[in-house]
């Protein structure tokens, strides 16, 4: 083919058809340019296909990560909600002067307890730290992945305040004014993983509840202040945790939408 074009050019020059030769030369240049552009386009298509395959893998990893994040965020939200309700029930008992030790002991565990969200960083951190966030084509998903660490930090700030208050203020107060061994029964009901034994507390020693002056504890103004303070901490943690749940849920919805679209295209 190249030899044919070379002979054609030589014949035009020999016959002194300069205008036709220039027109032909221009056409040949255009043909070469079109070939180059087509080759570049094919390369771009191949590169785009590779990036979409990489994105698909990233989306699947993100789906796993945020599924776990959502599960733990729901755990913390429900835990703080249960705490808020238990503390409110104690306040109601105080207002009604309706005290029984078994009921009070079952609610006192929430005065002692606290909840801590544990993020599951992985694909999202790697994506941001490596500067590959542009591989995610959905603009809203990129935005939420960028905002996610800040949402986690906001919850963590409130949680750490609540945890320090429980550990440094409430636990010392209860240790001086309440038989802490009475909490063991409630604690035994908390799911506990023991390798080889499963999720239970069977076989563990649990102390028998010890009698105390329930009215004296519940009517203590300092104790009542602790209830109010801890309720406010629980409420704030619920508010921040709700943001976490909503953000994680939206991220998962967007990921599932993207994966479904890719599946339909491949089909």
pLDDT at 212: 94
Mean pLDDT is lowest, of 16-30, 195-209, 218-232, for: 16-30
Are the C-beta atoms of residues 83 and 115 closer than 8 Å to each other?
A: yes
pLDDT of 228 over the 90 cut: yes
Are the C-beta atoms of residues 90 and 104 closer than 8 Å to each other?
A: yes
pLDDT of 9 over the 60 cut: no
User: Confidence band (pLDDT; 50, 70, 90) for 70?
Assistant: very high
pLDDT in tens, 78-109: 999 999 999 999 999 999 998 899 999 999 99
| Percent of the chain with pLDDT strictly greater than 70 | 75
Q: Which residue has the higher pLDDT, 233 or 42?
A: 233
| Token couple for 146 | 């960028």
pLDDT (mean) for 38-67: 75
pLDDT at 198: 52
Q: Can you give the pTM of this predicted structure?
A: 0.77
Are the C-beta atoms of residues 107 and 89 closer than 8 Å to each other?
A: yes
User: Confidence band (pLDDT; 50, 70, 90) for 206?
Assistant: confident
Exposure b/e, 47-80, CB count within 10 A at least 16 = b: eeeeeeeebeebbebbbebbeebbebbeebbebb
Q: What are phi and psi of 203, to 5 degrees?
A: 90, -5
pLDDT of 46 over the 60 cut: no
User: Confidence band (pLDDT; 50, 70, 90) for 136?
Assistant: confident
The number of residues making up the chain comes to 267
What CA–CA distance (Å, rounded) separates 159 from 236?
A: 9
Mean pLDDT is lowest, of 3-12, 196-205, 241-250, for: 3-12
What CA–CA distance (Å, rounded) separates 65 from 248?
A: 10
pLDDT at 129: 75
Q: Which residue has the higher pLDDT, 50 or 192?
A: 50
pLDDT of 130 over the 60 cut: yes
pLDDT in tens, 174-192: 999 999 999 988 877 665 4
């Amino acid at each position: 083919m190249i030899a044919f074009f070379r002979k054609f050019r030589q014949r035009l020059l020999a016959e002194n058809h300069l205008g036709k030769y220039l027109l032909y030369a221009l056409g040949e240049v255009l043909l070469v340019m079109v070939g180059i552009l087509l080759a570049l386009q094919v390369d771009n298509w191949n590169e785009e296909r590779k990036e979409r395959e990489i994105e698909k893998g990233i989306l699947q990893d993100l789906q796993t990560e945020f599924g776990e994040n959502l599960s733990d965020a729901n755990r913390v939200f429900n835990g703080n909600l249960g705490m808020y309700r238990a503390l409110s029930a104690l306040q109601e008992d105080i207002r009604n002067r309706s005290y029984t030790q078994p009921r009070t002991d079952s609610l006192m565990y929430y005065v002692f307890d606290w909840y801590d969200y544990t993020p599951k960083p992985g694909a999202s951190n790697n994506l941001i730290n490596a500067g590959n966030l542009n591989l995610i084509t959905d603009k809203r998903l990129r935005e939420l992945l960028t905002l996610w660490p800040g949402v986690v930090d906001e919850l963590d700030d409130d949680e750490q305040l609540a945890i320090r208050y429980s550990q440094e203020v409430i636990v010392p107060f209860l240790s001086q004014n309440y038989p802490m061994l009475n909490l063991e029964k409630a604690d035994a009901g908390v799911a506990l993983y023991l390798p080889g034994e499963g999720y239970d507390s069977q076989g563990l020693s649990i102390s028998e509840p010890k009698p105390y002056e329930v009215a004296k504890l519940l009517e203590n103004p300092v104790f009542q202040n602790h209830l109010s303070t801890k309720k406010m901490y629980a409420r704030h943690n619920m508010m921040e945790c709700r943001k976490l749940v909503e953000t994680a849920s939206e991220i998962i919805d967007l990921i599932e939408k993207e994966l479904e679209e890719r599946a339909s295209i491949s089909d």
